[in-house]
Structure formats: structure tokens, C-alpha cells
Amino acid sequence: MKNNTKGLTTPIQSDLTGALVRRVIHPLWAKFTHPAYARYMQEFERNQYLHPDDLRKLQMLRLRQQLIDAYRYVPFYRHRMTQAGLTPLDIRTHEDLRLLPVLTKRDIQDHQDLLVSSNVSPSKRKQDQTGGSTGSPLQFYVDLERFDSRMASTVRHNAWAGLRIGDWHAQLWGPRYDFGDKPDPTPFWRQKFLYRNISLHTADVTEESMMQYVEVLRKYRPRSMVSYAQSAVRFAEFCKANNIHDVAFDSMIVSAEMLPPGKRQVLEETFHGKVFNRYGCREVGVIASECEFHSGLHVNADALIVEVEAAPNLPSGMGRVLVTDLLNRSMPLIRYEIGDLASLDTEMRCPCGRSLPLIGNIQGRTSNFLRLPSGGMIAGPSLALLAADMRDVRQVQCIQPDPAHVTLKVVAGNGYNQRTEEELRRRMQPYLEKESNLTIVTADSIPSEPSGKYRFVKTGEDTETPTAMSR
Ligand SMILES: [Zn+2]
């Protein structure tokens, strides 16, 4: 950014602090709080250039170990494999993986306790949850060490976009849920001297908050922006409409939502940098990212196996995405149907020399904004965690005929009652305004869109049009 007249942090000071964070503070922090991180960091750095055959061998080794553990210590998988007449030793190749049944979100909701490994101590795992782009709340467990390897994957993929540890980056990201009641974009000390991130929450995207974001960005001048795709687009449109030309990023990493066709160009023109598409989810972290050649998304293949499987009633050339996490033991996700569609094309090539396989044209992560009577908008993914930790709620969807009316459609789980409804109403309140009218209705199911996908927010004038990743 050019006009930094009010900034307290000069580029030189920022670079020196960044180098200090990169070389001293972050490695020390990682050593004491995330002991496996450095090991994975080194390994993943090497793995991206392995010979493809060696990469597949590594995947197979990790898959075999995962399956043996799942069979021994996770009742759900032992039962499933027994029912299918299989043991882990029957899975000898990547193709054999197809012999195992698909794990659905419904399976996780219905058999959560049976999916937990008896071999991982509660002190070595952490519970997490997601509303997901599908709006189905899920709880799951992640090994503490898996958080380390996930962080190492993210750092590797960030480096492809030129974002290093110690570089300031903005995060136009995350629900109010993660920020508390009074989100403030000003970085606190840990952000300044460790994470180097500026959190610009997407729960309340109003003109006023975006102006506040502009001021913070002018002050700190982050090199990169990591963002929900549609939030980035909306922010770019705001900057254009208000003749703000001094907000710039070398790179913009966009994920969690589809980048609508043509919007890559809008982002690159507005912020004078390159867009890097990323695909991931809360359950397994980064799944795939674009490298500097933008030839599709390289799969995080040393930690995951990603299958794109043909299935009936899908748009031509598309398959459902199934993910197997090779490193998480406390609740293994094996052939997990994440709820997205991707191109079945396996012929993509990238000139960067990385052997990590490519996927492209991911479809179906389209989420809308909830519109407020005052003209404000709330990003769908911000609302997606609304009922994530409520076991008496299976699925929710916001229907909006006009900005003053919101109907929350709920698929009730076991134990759903009046109190559940009151709790949902209470949780929705911070996202609404005085003039908003909220109605809660229950439904047996929430039908998906013609593309086979589900949308968290549906507005009156909306009809889903299949979108492709813009190139
Ligand atoms: Zn590449």
C-alpha cells in the first residue's frame, strides 16, 4: 500500500520484526507448544518433490497403518469391515480403498461415540466442530499432533502463495463465534509478535466495518490476505465503489466458498496481486491449494488421500469428493464424503515439478450472504457454526424472502424441544436487527439444490447456478 502516512509500523521495522518472528520467536513457540510441527514441516517440504511412485508408497504405508489402527481400536470401522468381509490386509492398493464403504456426515452424527479410538488418550486429542458448508453440524476429535501436521501443511501451502511465517497477513475470515461479541480488528500482542495476522471477521460485513478494515490495512500493510472467497469479492467491490486504491496484497488466498467466475480478475485488479484458490475444511484442514502456476489445486497428499468418485445423479463429468485422513488417529475419517463435487478429470499437469496430484473445478461450496434490513450482510459460513455443538439439531438452513424476514429451517435431532428452539433464537439474535423477523420451523429434511449441493442461506431471488472455479 502506498499511502501509509498514519502508520506506526515502518516497512523496515516490520521486516525486522518479521525476520525475528520467522527465525526465533515462531520456532521457539513451536518447539515448546507444538513439538511435532518442525518435524512435519521438514518432511512435507521434502515430500512435495518426491517421485510420484514414492509418494504413492508413502500414502499406502500411512493408509495401512491407519486401517490397522481403525480396525483394532475403533468399533465403528471394525464393524463395517467385518460386515464387508474385509480386514485391513485386504487393502493393498489405492484402488482397493474403494472396497470400503463411504463415511457420511450422517454416520458421524449417528455413531459419534463408536468412531472414537480407544487407543488415543483424551489428553492427546481435542474436540472440534463444524457447521460446514453443508449446514450439517458435526463434532469430531483431532489428535494434538495432527494439529501440528495440519499447521505444517498450511505453512507449506501458504509458501506457494509467497506467504511466510513472520509476514503480516489479513484474515477476512471466521464467524462471530470465534471473535466474541465485540470484535476489534486491531491486532493484539500475540498477533503482532507471533501470528502476524489481522483478523477481519466476516460475521458483520457492513460499510462501516469495511471502512474500519481499510484503516487497519493501511496501517499494517499485510503482504497477503486469507479470506472467504465471497467476502473477498464483496470487500473488493466496496473498495472499488469507494475509490480506495491503496489497499493491496501480493497474494490473496481464497477458500471456504466458491470463487464465482470472473471474480478472480476483479480481486486481482482491485488489490494488485495474485489469487490462490484453496480448498479445505475444518475436519481435515487444507485439502488442496494452487501453486504459483495456478494449474489446478495440488492435493495435500502426504497427509490425505482424496478420491473423486463418480456417482448417480451428478452433473456430467463431476464426482463426489471423498477424503481419507492418513494421520489423525483419535477419530479416523476414512473415505469421508465431505459434501462437495469435483471434476473427474485426472489428466491435469502442473509445470512446477511438485508430485502432489491435482484436482480442479470444485463445485458446490457456494454460500450466500444473509441480508439485514439496514443493508448489512452476513457471510453464510459465519452462520454455519450456529448449531454446530447442538446434538439435538441435525441441520439448519436460513430462508430469506426479503431482508426483514428470516426463516430458520431445522431438521430436529434426538431431544429437540422448545428449549432447543429458544437456544437457536438466542444464538441467531446477534446476527439480526430490530426490524428482523425470525421464524423457526422444523422439517424432515432440507433438500439439496439441483447440482446436488446444499446452501446454508437461500434468498428469495436466488436460484442456484452451478459455478466453476475461475481461472
Ligand atoms: Zn504446481
CA of 417 to the centre of ligand 1 (A): 51
Return the DSSP state at 25. Answer: I
What is the 289 CA–ligand 1 centroid distance (Å)?
A: 9
Q: Tell how far the Cα of 48 is from the centroid of ligand 1, in angstroms.
A: 10
Report the alpha-carbon angle 144-133-213, nearest 5.
Answer: 85
CA of 341 to the centre of ligand 1 (A): 21
Ligand 1 geometric centre to CA of 224 (Å): 19
CA distances from 29 to 19, 163, 168, 194 (A): 15, 19, 18, 8
- The Cα diameter of the chain in Å comes to 70
Alpha-helical segments (H) within 242-280: 263-271
Residues 56 and 97 in one domain: yes
Give the distance (Å) from ligand 1 centre to CA of residue 128. Answer: 31
Q: CATH number, domain at 219?
A: 3.40.50.12780
Dist CA 46 CA 80 (whole Å)? 35
User: Long-range contacts made by residues 188-195, C-beta under 8 angstroms, separation at least 24?
Assistant: 192/17, 193/17, 193/21, 193/25, 194/21, 194/25, 194/26, 194/29
Q: What domain range is 417 assigned to?
A: 369-459
Residues 343 and 414 in one domain: no
* Shared-domain flag, residues 193 and 295: yes
Span from the CA of 416 to the centroid of ligand 1 (angstroms): 48
Q: What is the pLDDT of residue 12?
A: 52
Whether 453 is covered by a domain: the verdict is yes
Is there a domain that residue 466 lies in?
A: no
Name residue 199's beta-bridge partners.
Answer: 171
Instruction: Kindly give the distance from the C-alpha atom of residue 296 to the centroid of ligand 1, in angstroms, as a whole number.
Output: 8
Q: What is the pLDDT of residue 115?
A: 98
Instruction: Place 48 in a pLDDT band, splitting at 50, 70 and 90.
Output: very high
Give one DSSP letter per residue of 37-84, joined into a string.
Answer: HHHHHHHHHHHTTS-HHHHHHHHHHHHHHHHHHHHHH-HHHHHHHHHT
Q: Is the pLDDT of residue 271 over 90?
A: yes
Confidence (pLDDT) at 391: 82
pLDDT at 450: 47
Name the domain boundary from 349, 365, 381. 365
Other C-beta atoms within 10 Å of 434: how many?
6
* 471 within a domain of the structure (yes/no): no
Residue 352 C-alpha to ligand 1 middle, in angstroms?
Answer: 4
CA of 212 to the centre of ligand 1 (A): 36
Q: What's the 305 CA to ligand 1 centre distance in angstroms?
A: 18
- Which residues have CB under 8 Å from 333's CB, separation 6+? 103, 140, 283, 284, 323, 324, 325
Q: Which residues have their alpha-adjacent CB atom under 5 A from ion ligand 1?
A: 291, 293, 350, 352
Report the percentage of the chain scoring pLDDT > 70.
Answer: 83
Same-domain pairing of 153 and 18: yes
CATH code, domain with 411: 3.30.300.30
The per-residue pLDDT for 463 is: 36
Range 317-320 contact pairs with CB under 8 angstroms and sequence separation of 24 or more = 317/343, 317/344, 317/345, 318/342, 318/343, 318/344, 318/361, 318/363, 319/343, 319/344
Q: Cell 446452501 sits at which residue? A: 455
Place of cell 479470506: 227
pLDDT of residue 174: 63
397 lies in the same domain as 285: no
Residue 338 CA, ligand 1 centroid: distance in Å = 24
Distance CA 319, CA 356 (A): 20
CB atoms within 10 A of CB 403: 19
Number of domains into which the chain is organized: 2
Span 242-262, mean pLDDT? 86
Asked if residue 202 and residue 130 are part of one domain, the reply reads yes
- Separation of CA 351 and ligand 1 centre (Å): 6
What are the helix and strand counts (H, E) for the chain?
13, 19
- In this structure, the strands spanning 437-442 and 297-299 are unpaired
* Residues 41 and 77 grouped into a single domain: yes
Torsion of CA 107, 112, 118, 121, to 10 degrees: 130
Ligand 1 center from residue 270 Cα (angstroms): 25
Same structural domain for residues 444 and 345? no
Cell of 289: 491449494
In angstroms, what is the span from residue 143 Cα to ligand 1's centroid?
Answer: 29
Q: Is 33 helix (H, G, I), strand (E, B) or coil?
A: helix
**Ligand 1 center to residue 254 CA distance, Å?**
17
Q: Is residue 140 part of a domain?
A: yes
Q: Does 357 lie in the same domain as 407?
A: no
Compute the distance from residue 295 Cα to the ligand 1 centre, in Å. Answer: 6
The answer to whether residues 22 and 157 belong to one domain is yes
Segment 228-257 shows an average pLDDT of 88
- pLDDT, residue 469, reads 33
Report the alpha-carbon distance of residue 90 to residue 72 in Å, rounded: 15
pLDDT at residue 53 tops 60:
yes
Are 232 and 288 in the same domain? yes
Average pLDDT, the chain: 85
Flag whether pLDDT at 257 surpasses 80.
Answer: no
Lowest mean pLDDT across 100-114, 319-333, 343-357: 343-357
In degrees rounded to 5, what are phi and psi of residue 393? Answer: -125, 125
For range 449-464, the mean pLDDT: 55
Q: How far is the CA of 317 from the centre of ligand 1 (A)?
A: 23
Dist. CA 332 → ligand 1 center (Å): 29
Separation of CA 302 and ligand 1 centre (Å): 15
* Residues 404 and 334 both lie in one domain: no
